[in-house]
Chains A and B, each alone.
Chain A
Amino acid sequence: DAKTTQPNSMESNEEEPVHLPCNHSTISGTDYIHWYRQLPSQGPEYVIHGLTSNVNNRMASLAIAEDRKSSTLILHRATLRDAAVYYCILRPYPSGSARQLTFGSGTQLTVLP
């Protein structure tokens, strides 16, 4: 499986933007970039995904480098409720690989009031 690399932890101030980086230098052409987050004592939840173009939804934005070897999850205005572990995951499509949702250790985001 293609691997992702994320910082272990990051801090942000409340109401400021947060940029969470992810490196995936061995990404293949059929890998989608997915982001999930896990709030304390909860199961992971889907945040956003993309292939080549930047993506926006109500939760976040995903900026994908032109060579696709890195991406950045952007929270436009962090709130205390955004404190969580954020996982960057590569998923192939079509889903040929069974082990297609492989989590790393993620980035622990702390939001300071």
Chain B
Amino acid sequence: EAGVAQSPRYKIIEKRQSVAFWCNPISGHATLYWYQQILGQGPKLLIQFQNNGVVDDSQLPKDRFSAERLKGVDSTLKIQPAKLEDSAVYLCASSRGKGTLNTEAFFGQGTRLTVV
């Protein structure tokens, strides 16, 4: 079974530029998560999708972050404009879905973003 794929692995941008991250979840997984992990901290949930609908985006800074999951499969997370404090690893994860007992989440390797 292929895992969660993310790209790019690394990205360096200047502040005020825009950037996009891409995630391809495990086939058949209805739930998709985007997390932000700042160095030395645990991952923080930014947004959760169930199929192509948003379940929770309460911690997403909506003035600069946006995410979509068209057709309920792949997802993109965008930051525009980026700030220095956005430097972090952005992790995508997927799981079978809400209401199932098998709720194990599978994570990608993440995209390390550096804003200079």
The bracket for how many chain B residues form the interface is 20 to 34
With A43-B108, A46-B105 in contact, do A99 and B41 touch (Cβ < 8 Å)?
Answer: no
- In A6-26, the 8 Å CB interface with B consists of none
- Tell whether, in the assembled complex, residue B99 and residue A43 are in contact, meaning their CB atoms are under 8 Å apart: no
The smallest beta-carbon distance between B96 and chain A, in angstroms, is 11
The bracket for how many chain A residues form the interface is 20 to 34
Residue in B33, B93, B98, B108 whose beta carbon sits within 8 Å of that of A95 in the complex: B98
Give the interface segment out of A58-66, A67-75, A76-84, A102-110.
Answer: A102-110
Q: Which residues of A contact B43 (CB under 8 A)?
A: 44, 103
- Tell whether, in the assembled complex, residue A43 and residue B44 are in contact, meaning their CB atoms are under 8 Å apart: no
Name B106's closest neighbour in chain A (CB-CB).
A46
CA distance A45 to B110 in the complex (A): 12
User: Top 7 nearest A-B pairs by Cβ distance?
Assistant: A43-B107, A98-B56, A103-B42, A98-B55, A95-B98, A46-B104, A103-B43
Chain A residues engaging chain B, CB cutoff 8 angstroms: 32, 34, 36, 41-46, 49, 85, 87, 91, 93-95, 98-106
